[in-house]
Structure 1
Amino acid sequence: MLRRILVCTAFSACLYFLLLYKSTLLHTPLVTTKMMRAVVVHGPGGPDALVLEQRPIPVPQSGQILIRVHAFGLNRAEMFTRQGHSPGVTFPRILGIEATGVVAAAPGGEFPEGAAVATVMGGMGRLFDGSYAEYTVVPAAQVKVVNASVGWEIMGALPEMMQTAWGALFISLQLKAGETLLVRGGSSSVGMAAAALARHHGVHVVSTTRNESRRELLLASGAHDVLIDAGSIADEARKRYPDGFDKVLELVGVTTLADSLKIAKRGGVVCTAGIVGGKWVLDEFTPNAMIPTGVYLTTYSSSVAAFMETPLDEIARLVDNGTLRIPIKSYRLDQIVAAHGAMDESTACAKMVVLIE
């Protein structure tokens, strides 16, 4: 009898805990982490360092915006970060300093869900994970609503490229109609964008390229004339334009800066705004020797504040209707290695954009 009582008691206890466990399962929702595709760099390297992975979708806090990315442009700054040249960057990191897409969540209520937006800089892809993913989280202060009804391929191409071109021309160089402009590094995406913008504003534009085969591309993008650049163009430029140029946009960087300063006329301005030449720092800088008398040297650096000033909607409409002719080449997210390879070799001859379906 005692044995039967003990067996029954044990059975009852097991049944009780089984029912309790079942009840817990029924009343406690399962928590699942939503995932996204993202391109991750685990350490400095070549294009093959870019690895397509599954990552948790980031969760925005108050003051942050979760953007579902539809398109993002590729930039040489990301190439330098991938190579390990951007100070302060830790790995692993999702690259990408710009993005366009729609608001997926805004805990602080800054933007309605579904609004089309663009964002650049502010630490994206360097201090925190950037846009090489299906979703990205950024501070609300660097997000801008876009109202132009254009495709994602066009909108994705514009934010960083156009804020650099527009800012360098109209903030740093204070370009005006009727002036002459030399774009050093004209076959870069920013160079072609700058030529198109300047010509649209009534400026005579001369662009440079190292490659004779790109002459027609530059003329089609907005340049009135093209100079072939073998590293020094000052003598040839002075033969063809004896008075020099009112403004010079230096996109190659410090490797050609001294030569570009010789091309500006008295009272002219040279703005350095790129590092296409791949070098960051001058070996020597003696202002009296390098800067001609009466020529002014300035710079332009991309920033959130400058991005907010850029008339992105207006520019997007001009690109969409063909007024500004900007060559664009698109890739899928799973083609990111090939895209970075083209950027390393400077073979794209277009603004490269990744589209995410």
Structure 2
Amino acid sequence: MKAVVLDGFGGLDVLQYRDIPKPIAVPGTVLIRIKAFGINHAEMHMRRGEWAEAAPVSGIECVGIVEACPGGEFAVGTKVAAFMGGLGRTINGSYAEYTLASVHNVAAIESELSWAELAAIPITYATAWTTLFRNLDLQPGQTLVIRGATSSLGLAAVNLAVNAGARVIATSTNDSQFDRLIQMGVTRCEVESLQLSAQLPDKGQIDAVLDLVGNSVVVDSLRIVRRGGKVCLAGWLGGLDPIPDFNPLLQMASGVYLTFFGSFVFGTPQFPVSDVPLQAIATDIAAGKFQAKPSRIFRFDELREAHRVMEANEAKGKMVVVHDDA
């Protein structure tokens, strides 16, 4: 089968097109004929050698059709999404014509959406939904700040939070994106900064913060929420450096909650893929409730260009790659 293989770590040139053996399904796995897959920042870090683990074939998610499933958990021909469970990290991932995923990381997802539109859903919406409705326990009428709202994960969180009846304050480093966010139902936009808390008139009254900027601002996020408010750290748009000189006694407000979510836990007993309503999300997207189309669509032979766009921060949303037969 055709695949893109990491030939070492570094720039775009390490993404090499090669023919490799097609994987063989064994009990507990699902062989998927890939139709399309999303592009993720994690894959850029893997390509650079900045991630703890990186399989020869990258790619942490895909959508496609079941070709084989020895255990019978999914019927051959079923339309499915697969994400995490070691894909692209400890086992070959989705940058290929086929992938072999754990049954625990596969979900049926029947929809009339195109393969490109379906590919924009799995890991992005699963992560956004889990952070909002499990970690933050977001309720209708609550006020939520989404830091890094114009990232693909941020845009998915905006869609889900607005649809759930929350009042959303969104941040971006680029105010040219504010009109788009307002059209999506955001109540207010703020320019992202290291000291966002100082510029919010409703600081101390906010119910929750979804922090996708990361360690560089998480202490500031803790200053934003009310007593009993929650902060969920779930992204690193600001880089992977550790929180500098964090001292909870001096820097963390009393009575607030800090939680973390990493999508690598999907498929484990405590975070089953079945917990995420992917089918309902796809149905809502098909019904026009969300603005969830991919920002850019690439062919399989354009994968290097997709990485270039991602690295240059030109994505402006979720980018996907589609195979020629999709």
Give the TM-score normalised by the residue count of structure 2: 0.94
Pairing 1:288–2:285 present: no
Partners of 1:208 and 1:191 in 2: CA distance: 9
Check whether the contact 1:196–1:223 (CA below 8 A) recurs between aligned residues: no
- 2:67 aligned to 98, 104, 120, which one? 104
- The correspondence for 2:218, drawn from 253, 257, 263, is 257
Name the structure 2 match of 1:17: none
Answer yes or no: is 1:153 the counterpart of 2:116: yes
Mapped to 2, the partners of 1:83 and 1:288 lie a distance apart of 36
Q: 3-state SS of the aligned residue for 1:144?
A: strand
Indicate the percent of aligned positions where both proteins have the same amino acid. Answer: 38
1:46 and 2:46 aligned: no
Preserved CA contact (<8 Å) 1:65 1:138? yes
Cα distance change on mapping 1:222 and 1:351 into 2, 3 Å:
farther
Q: Which runs of 4+ in 1 moved over 4 A?
A: none
Q: Distance in 2 between matches of 1:306 and 1:263?
A: 31
1:349 and 2:316 aligned? yes
Change beyond 3 A, Cα 1:97–1:266:
same
SS in 2 for 1:88: coil
1:230-269 alignment runs, 5 A limit: 230-237=193-200, 239=201, 241-269=202-230
Q: Where in structure 2 are the equivalents of 1:317-356 lying within 5 Å? A: 317-328=283-294, 329-356=296-323
Root-mean-square deviation (CA), in Å?
Answer: 1.4
Structure 1, residues 173-197: CA drift from partner, whole Å, max 9, x if none?
Answer: 0000010000011111110110110
Distance 2:262 2:299 in 1: 29
Aligned residues between the structures: 318
Secondary structure of 1:56's aligned partner: coil
Which residue matches 1:308? Answer: 274
Within the candidate set 59, 76, 79, 2:24 is matched to: 59
Residue 42 of structure 1, CA deviation: 1.5
Q: What residue number does 2:173 align with?
A: 210
Structure 1 SS opposite 2:110: coil
Which one of 36, 53, 56 corresponds to residue 88 of structure 1? 53
Q: Distance between the aligned counterparts of 2:114 and 2:287, measured in 1? A: 12
Instruction: Supply the AA of the counterpart residue of 1:276.
Output: L
Q: Distance in 2 between matches of 1:86 and 1:221?
A: 33
CA deviation vs aligned residue, 1:185-241 (integer Å, no higher than 9, x gap): 11111101101100101100011000111111222333221101133211111x2x2
Alignment match, 1:29: none
* Larger deviation, residues 54-63 vs 115-124: 54-63
Q: Which moved more, 1:118-127 or 1:225-234?
A: 225-234
1:72 partnered with 2:33: no
Q: Distance in 2 between matches of 1:337 and 1:65?
A: 27
Q: In the TM superposition, what is the alpha-carbon distance from 1:272 to its structure 2 partner?
A: 0.4
Task: Describe the SS at the equivalent of 1:191.
Answer: helix
**Partner residue in 1 for 2:163:** 200
Helix, strand or coil: the match of 1:218?
Answer: helix
Check 1:152–1:221 CA distance in 2 against 1; reply closer, same or farther (3 A cut): same
Q: 1:259 to 1:281 in 2, by over 3 A?
A: same
8 Å Cα contact 1:146-1:312 kept in structure 2: yes
Long gaps (5+) in structure 2:
none
Question: What SS class does the counterpart of residue 353 from structure 1 fall into?
Answer: strand
Secondary structure, counterpart of 1:313 in structure 2: helix
Higher alpha-carbon deviation: 41-50 or 97-106: 41-50
- Following the alignment from structure 1 to structure 2, what is the Cα–Cα distance between the partners of residues 176 and 223? 16
Letter in 1 for 2:300: L
Amino acid at match of 1:131: S
Higher helix share: 1
Aligned match of 1:123:
86
- For residues 41 and 78 of structure 2, what CA distance do their matches in structure 1 show? 28
Q: Hey, what's the Cα distance between the residues in 1 that align with 2:309 and 2:46?
A: 16
Distance 1:142 1:160 in 2: 11
